[in-house]
A and B are shown apart, each in its own frame.
Chain A
Amino acid sequence: MYYVDLAVTGLSFGCMYAMMSVGLTLVYGLLRILHIAHAAVFALGAYVTVLVANATGSLALGFLAALAVTPLFGMAIYRLLYEPLLQYRPDVPMVASVGLLIFMQDAFRILFGEQGVTFKNNALAFKTLDIGGVRVGVVQAALIVAAAVVFVGLHVLTTRTRVGVGWRATVSRPKIAASFGIDPIRVRYLNFALGSALAALAGGLVALMDNLVDPAIGFVVSYKALAIIVLGGLGNVRGTLLASLALGLVESYGTIFIGQWLDRDAIAFLAVIALLMIRPQGLAGVRAA
């Protein structure tokens, strides 16, 4: 039973990582930018969710507001920061991205305080479900469901709709896609809008789970989500899910078995490095970088 509990914890962490990283995969797959400021978008989503939910008393309104604000913010990041820097080495936009993350984190600290903000009325954070003898938090279950919905939705979007096919075409062969009448600039905006909305959703859910939003909430996203999307294979949505779940499980079991030698992050990165040595192109990648 103990091992089943560990598996459930691992899976729910995996789903959390998947939600954090999937938006980043979309951005990365298209532009090959290590978009570290994705963590700032994630934090913005979390803050908007908690502030609007507290102001209006409605959690749903909080999530809706976050889903409305962050796509605009994401598109602004692309237009103002990344677009002028695309012609340079990839570490140039990355450093700009780091600057933005530092800026935003400190802005959140100054505006809303070091201690962060909690939900005034968050009954969900402490409720648990009993599924066949395994106890799962309601928010954790919501994360798992949200991840399932998002990944199925993305699969349908990219395989069944015109927009999605255009997106995939632009990712793999931008010039040929453009010659078929797909506007690559519009694809990029769509990409940032969708990626940022997904980050906001993840941010809101994580805030709900921890019942707290503090300036450091995005930090874990800045490096772990990066590792996950690279491990998953460049911009590969399915690979991202696979890598997230793998990392969640490895951390969950790893902390029990080798926790006295390495901390949680180190265990995760040990797995990432080992897997990258075996598969240098990522878990689901088909071509070398």
Chain B
Amino acid sequence: MSAYEVSVASVIGINVILAIGLNLISGFCGQISLGHGAFFGAGAYAAALVMTKVGNAPLAVAAAVAAASLLGTVVGFASLRVRSDFLAVTTIGVNFLFIGFVRKQAWLGGEMGISAIPPSGLGALGNLGLILLCACATVAFSVYVNQSWMGFAFRAVGEDETAARTLGIDPGAYKLAAFAIGTALAGLAGAFYTFFTQFITPDAFDFIFSVMLLAMVVIGGVGSTFGVLTAAIGLTLLPEAIRFVNDYRLLVFGGLMIIMIRFAPRGLAGLARAAFLRARPR
């Protein structure tokens, strides 16, 4: 594999972990989050700090997961208080707060970010292997959660909190669980991102990136693991695939996003389901 292919594959793996994690929160549990980049960033910065200060890769991964999940649980508590669009704006706020805080912190490198992060010791191919292994594990975990009692409870909370409560499901506990798990995955992705680039700046985790992650979930089909997986791979590859349009990349990208949503509002998963129903013999 060329260095280019390795780096594209690494980014795909990282984005898959992020999108599947967000799908747990926004897809399964119905808690719209537009700040997933903040948790990704918290993980990346925690890993970068551990790597530069201690230089221990497993410890860096643990720190990243812990930091992101801690922040995620705090935001989860906010989701107990504010709902729907109010929650969406709160999570946007968390994203801007994170970026704005990091930018002003000298010990986090400020605007310049953290550079010259020691390598994880696995090499580029080793990193890629680790990332893809964890991406596959994340997908398997998501499939498992979806058919477990927890997945049922998530969907119940997402559909109708009051109805969920009458079934003895505590919406608060499951919302917190969704946030804790989904953001822990974002932290994991953050650690891998740090290993992959060895150089992080605040801008990599901004609001635009969070919006793109939610776009992966929606275009894939809200709540569908394989739909989101396909969309995460597709939306990461798309800017590479449309390199030939060069200067018009964002124009084409935005246009395709509109067309996709306009003609397949239930996402790729909805398209697949419709095709399956049509092909089935009556």
- Chain A residue numbers with a CB within 8 Å of B255 are 99, 103
User: Residue A227 contacts which of B26, B89, B222 (CB distance < 8 angstroms)?
Assistant: B89
Stretch in A53-61, A155-163, A191-199, A271-279 touching the partner: A271-279
Neighbouring B residues of A2 by C-beta, 8 Å: none
> Which residues in B have some Cβ–Cβ distance to A below 8 Å?
26, 32, 78, 81-86, 88-90, 92-94, 96-97, 99-101, 103-104, 207, 211, 214-215, 218-219, 222, 247-251, 253-258, 260-262, 265-266
- The interface residues of chain A, by DSSP majority, are classed as helix
Pairwise interchain contact A273-B81, C-beta atoms closer than 8 A: no
Question: With A91-B214, A263-B100 in contact, do A99 and B90 touch (Cβ < 8 Å)?
Answer: no
**A269–B93 CB distance below 8 A:** yes
Known contacts A262-B104, A267-B100: A95-B257 contact under CB 8 Å: yes
Once the chains bind, are B215 and A95 in contact (CB under 8 Å)? yes
Is A273's CB under 8 angstroms from B97's CB? Answer: yes
Say yes or no: B89 contacts A230, CB within 8 Å: yes
Please determine whether A98 and B257 come into contact, CB atoms closer than 8 angstroms. yes
A-B contact list, 23 entries, CB within 8 Å: A34-B85, A34-B88, A80-B262, A84-B262, A85-B265, A95-B218, A98-B211, A98-B215, A98-B257, A99-B215, A99-B260, A102-B250, A103-B258, A104-B254, A106-B254, A223-B96, A227-B92, A227-B93, A231-B89, A265-B96, A266-B99, A273-B97, A277-B81
**A94-B218, A98-B257, A99-B254 provided; 19 other pairs, C-beta below 8 A?**
A92-B222, A95-B257, A96-B261, A99-B260, A101-B254, A227-B89, A227-B93, A262-B100, A265-B96, A266-B97, A266-B99, A266-B101, A269-B93, A270-B93, A272-B90, A273-B94, A276-B81, A277-B78, A280-B82
What are the residues of chain B within 8 A of A266 when measuring CB–CB? 96-97, 99-101
Chain A interface size, as a band, is 35 or more
Please state if B97 and A92 are interface contacts (CB–CB under 8 Å). Answer: no
| B255 to A, closest residue via Cβ | A103
What separation, in Å, do the CA atoms of A103 and B259 have in the docked complex?
11
